[in-house]
Amino acid sequence: MLDDKRTLLLDMDGTLLDLAFDNHFWTEQVPAALAAARGEHLNDVKQELVAAIRASEGTLAWYCLEHWSRELNFDLVAFKETVANRIRFLDGARDFLARARAAGFNLVLVTNAHPETLRIKDQQTNVTQLVDDVVCSHRVGLPKEDERFWPGLLDRVGEAPERLLMVDDSAPVLATASRFVPVTAIAKPDSRRPTRDMSPYPSVERIVDLLAE
């Protein structure tokens, strides 16, 4: 998959960092904290949160801590900082970054994560120090799912599309990205959940597996 590639466009959550943190944060920790703060039943809060999140899926708001802090009347940035010690690299991901860099690949982190999420996760992992460039969709003003995001990214990278590879765990992102660049999916973004079928996209279970191709 890396034959003739020069630049790797790398998602963060679920590609380099374990999505187990985010899944647990949004499905368990946030609802529990909200229920305690409001004095409401946990299941009621979970249902409300799931409905709200689904309604904004695929937009920048879906990823935006400031948006959800306002919507929920709860400081999610401060709360995320209290549980940040759970943030981890996926198995083999740190090694992959070191080996890919040593092999001469240009590594670009391309993330939909909110800047505060990126800051908190970088404090725990130093992930931005292990790549050559960082593109945050919030600063672009468009999520990766939006096809308008990609021409600007290609201009910034300055590489022929066939020399690029986008690696991501999100099917909607892969669907859009594949119109512009070759893509590969991560089939096991959450270390606590089963491997997924990512058809029709080529996939590896872990990003480090790309180096074994």
Q: What is the pLDDT of residues 168-181, one digit of tens each?
A: 999 999 999 999 99
Task: Quote the pLDDT of residue 109.
Answer: 98
Task: Quote the pLDDT of residue 57.
Answer: 85
Taking only the tens place, the pLDDT of each residue in 33-79 is 999 999 999 999 999 999 998 888 888 998 999 999 999 999 999 99
Task: Quote the pLDDT of residue 213.
Answer: 57
Low-confidence ranges of the chain (pLDDT < 50): none
- Is 187 in a helix, a strand, or coil? coil
- Is 199 in a helix, a strand, or coil? coil
The residues facing 164 across adjacent strands are 7
Strand arrangement of the beta sheet that strand 183-186 belongs to: 133-136, 106-111, 7-10, 164-168, 183-186, 203-204
Residues forming the active site? 4
Task: Quote the pLDDT of residue 56.
Answer: 87
Please, what is the average pLDDT of the chain?
Answer: 95
pTM for this predicted structure: 0.95
